[in-house]
Amino acid sequence: MVALDRSLISRLPLFQGMTPEEQSELLRSARSSRYAKDSTIFEQEAEANSFFVLIAGHIRVVRTTPDGQQVIARYISEGEIFGVAAALGRTTYPATAVAAVDCVVLAWANSQWAELARRFPVFGATTYKTVGTRLQETQTRVVEMSTEQVEQRVAHALLRLANQTGRKTDSGIEIDFPISRQDIAEMTGTTLHTVSRLLSKWEDNGIILSGRQKVTVKDAHRLVVLAENRDKG
């Protein structure tokens, strides 16, 4: 195995607080892999053999419901850990991970998790904090799905993506990876037709810009007003 350079992880928040020596030691047990856009990194309910850190790209996390419906649970951004089934007390993956763009990931054997968390407590604590945050986000989305109107759910989804991956441009905050209207529909439990209608209306009103698999938030304040159902117009 080719030794991995510490610069791969030294700038990532997940590894902040670790000494250079600890970072290098942690990398010695990792392997690096590339995944082309739309390729699968792991499948829902497959045996969890590895856990991962995304070094470059974006990952789409998809859950399949018992009736066969696919729901996009979240997106993973550069620097995030994912697939840590052991931290959830699981032996299988709870969802499918798909490369939204070409990706580079680091992977460790799942059997190493307990030992690595013990030897590198900062790494372990940060991972558990990330897992806890995601569980809270999941609970928030469940509440949204059961209590909010579709327009609110779509507005909240775009705000989350803009906050998570937004890139400032002259036009506004661009969601910095390809996302289709169908993707947004799957994230918000609605139909492609409804999402298309809403995005077209918001574009006409100057709130967003929408292109082929691109969304730019032009007026974040007005989108917040829609998400919080304060728009009386």
Give the pLDDT score at 1: 42
Question: Is 160 within 8 Å of 193 (Cβ atoms)?
Answer: no
- List, for residues 152-168, the tens digit of each pLDDT value: 999 999 999 998 888 89
Q: Which domains does the chain have, with CATH numbers?
A: 6-145 (2.60.120.10), 148-228 (1.10.10.10)
Give pLDDT, residue 162: 92
**pTM listed for this prediction:** 0.81
Q: List, for the chain, all residue ranges whose pLDDT scores fall below the cut of 70.
A: 1-3, 231-233
Degrees to nearest 5, angle at CA 192 with 209 and 179: 50
**DSSP code at position 70:** E
Q: What are phi and psi of 108, to 5 degrees?
A: -125, 150
What is the per-residue pLDDT across 31-64, written as a single tens digit (0 to 9) for each? 999 999 999 999 999 999 999 999 999 999 999 8
